[in-house]
Amino acid sequence: PGTIGILTAGGDCPGLNAVIRGVAKAAMHYGLRVIGIQDGFRGLVENRFVELDNRMVSGILTQGGTLLGSSRDKPHKMPMGNKVMNMTQVTVDNYHALNLDCLVCLGGNGTAKNAYRLHQQGGINVMVLPKTIDNDVAETDITFGFDSAMGIATEAIDRLHTTATSHHRIIVCEIMGHDAGWLCLGAGIAGGADVILIPEIPYNLDAVARSLLVRQHSGKRFSIIAVAEGIRSVQEVAAAASSVPRKRRDKDKEVVHQAVDGVHLVQEATASRVAREIQQRTGVEARVTSLGHVQRGGPPSAFDRLLCTRLGTMAGHLLAHRKYNVMVGVKGTDCVPVPLGKVAGIKRTVPRDHDWIKTARLVATCLGDEES
Ligand code: F6P
């Protein structure tokens, strides 16, 4: 009845293997052949793939990472040797050489865009399943991987509480999420952070310091500040809106990713700056913890295992019925196909009137603005 290819692209997250298993088992149930493409779109360009059978997708439900490997390579802009080349046609040719009826891409925003571009420019069938710890994909209530990462970040905040309490310190905890605040806000509320700073609400350190001093004066001698990696201060937002050239603004900012001997070190730039300035303003000793890629590692949560299996099997069902060029999203309690054109290129950040923001304010969490 047909053959499908499956690949995992972009940053990994817990649950990728669970989705591969769900798609493959359901597809095989319907009699489809399943080819696993290695290392994202690069594997299709370089013809690196493996046939997935029942044995290969068995026992992987609980495993973190992706058995197929992942990369951030885009077909239309792929580093090849010392050149960056448009490999769209090669990707399309290899899709046909494998006799694929559809290419199932497990990925986030970037992957949805790349898959849709392949469909539009190369005429091939694609399907996307929404993966990312950032939870920032349009047309789905949740992405897989988010719940697991939120659990890890929440546990980290719990652990930081006990040491912050013992030493009467402020601890700033930097949480991933790219330009969206979902992970930081969710984990911050679940972990009971006293201050939560997210990219959607430009922060004002005077407002943050004021709320921390109120805590101090009420007898609470420690505080936890959850900081999303993409936060911007009111001053930075104003500079961005003004005529300050982008190059100069970037130079003024501290470096976040620095390559040393080809190794990317994630600097704790933003979180360190927040900690330093808050220590100066409050007189309370501050420390910084950057959770980094720990948030993307390890086994998926029970919620994600269930979600991944539901998304994967729904994808298998749709593939068997030749329903292509969709993303399988979550709407309420259902897994539903959404036209890919409605997803590609659109980021879902936290709306300012979102229930989680109201919730945080009602438990007196400072969100870094004047309303706090
Ligand atoms: O999109 C997932 C994510 O973990 C973001 O939260 C983060 O900004 C980025 O990937 C880190 O990317 P890399 O793994 O390439 O350092």
Distance CA 129, CA 124 (A): 17
Residue appearing with tokens 């980094």: 292
Query: Judging by beta carbons within 10 Å of its beta carbon (0-12, 13-18, 19+), is residue 364 exposed, middle or buried?
Result: exposed
Distance CA 194, CA 216 (A): 12
User: Rounded to the nearest whole angstrom, what is the distance from the C-alpha of residue 123 to the centroid of ligand 1?
Assistant: 30
pLDDT of residue 259: 63
Distance CA 215, CA 83 (A): 55
ipTM surpassing 0.95, yes or no? yes
At 126-160, the pLDDT tens digits run 999 999 999 999 999 999 999 999 999 999 999 99
User: Rounded to the nearest whole angstrom, what is the distance from the C-alpha of residue 290 to the centroid of ligand 1?
Assistant: 13
Residue appearing with tokens 């690069």: 42
- Rounded mean pLDDT of 59-82? 97
Closest CA to 25 of 307, 311, 249: 311
CB atoms within 10 A of CB 31: 9
Distance CA 2, CA 31 (A): 8
What does pTM read for this prediction? 0.94
| 3-state SS assignment for residue 154 | helix
At 1-42, the pLDDT tens digits run 899 999 999 999 999 999 999 999 999 999 999 999 999 999
Flag whether pLDDT at 255 surpasses 60. no
User: Rounded to the nearest whole angstrom, what is the distance from the C-alpha of residue 70 to the centroid of ligand 1?
Assistant: 13
Sheet holding 195-197, edge to edge: 195-197, 223-228, 170-175, 286-290
Query: How crowded is the C-beta side of 280, counted as CA atoms within 13 Å?
Result: 8
Does any ligand 1 atom lie closer than 6 A to the CB of residue 181? no
The single residue of 12, 101, 134, 136 carrying the catalytic annotation is: 134
Closest CA to 130 of 113, 154, 117, 118: 113
Q: Whose CA is nearest to atom 15 of ligand 1?
A: 11
At 165-224, the pLDDT tens digits run 999 999 999 999 999 999 999 999 999 999 999 999 999 999 999 999 999 999 999 999
CB atoms within 10 A of CB 51: 10
- Rounded mean pLDDT of 244-269? 55
Q: What angle do CA 204, 210, 213 make, to 5 degrees?
A: 140
- Measured from the Cα of 295, ligand 1's closest atom is 4
Distance CA 350, CA 355 (A): 10
Which of the listed residues 8, 143, 175, 176 should we mutate to test ligand 1's pocket, taking the one with most ligand atoms within 8 A of CB? 176
| 3-state SS assignment for residue 242 | coil
In the annotation, is 134 catalytic?
yes
Q: Are 20 and 36 in contact (CB under 8 A)?
A: yes
Q: Whose CA is nearest to atom 11 of ligand 1?
A: 11
- Measured from the Cα of 229, ligand 1's closest atom is 8
Sheet holding 33-37, edge to edge: 49-52, 33-37, 3-8, 102-107, 126-130, 326-331, 334-339
